Amino acid sequence: MIECPSCGHLHRPGTLFCSECGVYLLTGGPLRTEPLPESDLPSTRADPWESGEKAGTGEAQRETMLIIVPPSGRQLNLPAEGEAVIGRLDATRGVFPNIDLTPEGGLEGGVSRRHARIHKQKAQYFIEDLGSANGTFLNGQRLTPYLPHPLHDNDELQLGRVRIQVSVR
């Protein structure tokens, strides 16, 4: 028997969808996140090889704080550990992103459950797309999935259709 990753219902091998909760049993998720129309998303791509300032160069390391502001206006601070997954909370599937964009219309805005990750290396913040269905955009440019890209003050991020403002202080 195979167990539904979402609701735990047992099915005979070879079954493709859970009869109880409707998820695709191979992934425990939907068959696919519906791609947004191409026209809804910016079309230029970021240069994947652009590097951040080399850590340690320039000004002496100082304590910085990253604040991101989604359209709802609520301020979200990067957790102290300096790393955060942005996405959409899905308790039934055990996905608890540090920054949940559900209140910002994440589901309809095409935000994946695990959409992007922000982390800090030395004094530099990086944004990394986690292979999301609808992409992560930095100042209107699409990021190559799984390739961290440096984040600066006043940068604008777009996850699917949801835009968020970045400020580094």
Q: Which residues bind other proteins (CB under 8 A)?
A: 11-24, 26, 29-31, 33-34, 37, 107-108
Strands (E) across 15-155 are located at 44-45, 66-69, 76-77, 83-87, 99-100, 114-121, 124-129, 136-138, 141-142, 149-151
Tell which residue, 64, 72, 70, has the closest CA to residue 87. 70
Nearer to other proteins, 12 or 169 (CB): 12
- Kindly give, in sequence order, each residue whose CB lies less than 8 Å from that of residue 86, ignoring residues fewer than 6 positions away: 97, 98, 99, 101, 111, 115, 116, 117, 118, 159
Nearer to other proteins, 70 or 109 (CB): 109
User: How many H helices and E strands in the chain?
Assistant: 0, 14
Nearest-approach distance from CB 17 to other proteins, in angstroms? 4
Nearest-approach distance from CB 1 to other proteins, in angstroms? 9
End-to-end CA distance of the chain: 53
Nearer to other proteins, 95 or 107 (CB): 107
Taking the CA atoms of the chain, what radius of gyration do you get in angstroms?
18
Nearest-approach distance from CB 5 to other proteins, in angstroms? 13
Tell which residue, 169, 167, 164, has the closest CA to residue 73. 164
Nearest-approach distance from CB 13 to other proteins, in angstroms? 4
Nearer to other proteins, 41 or 69 (CB): 41
Nearest-approach distance from CB 67 to other proteins, in angstroms? 30
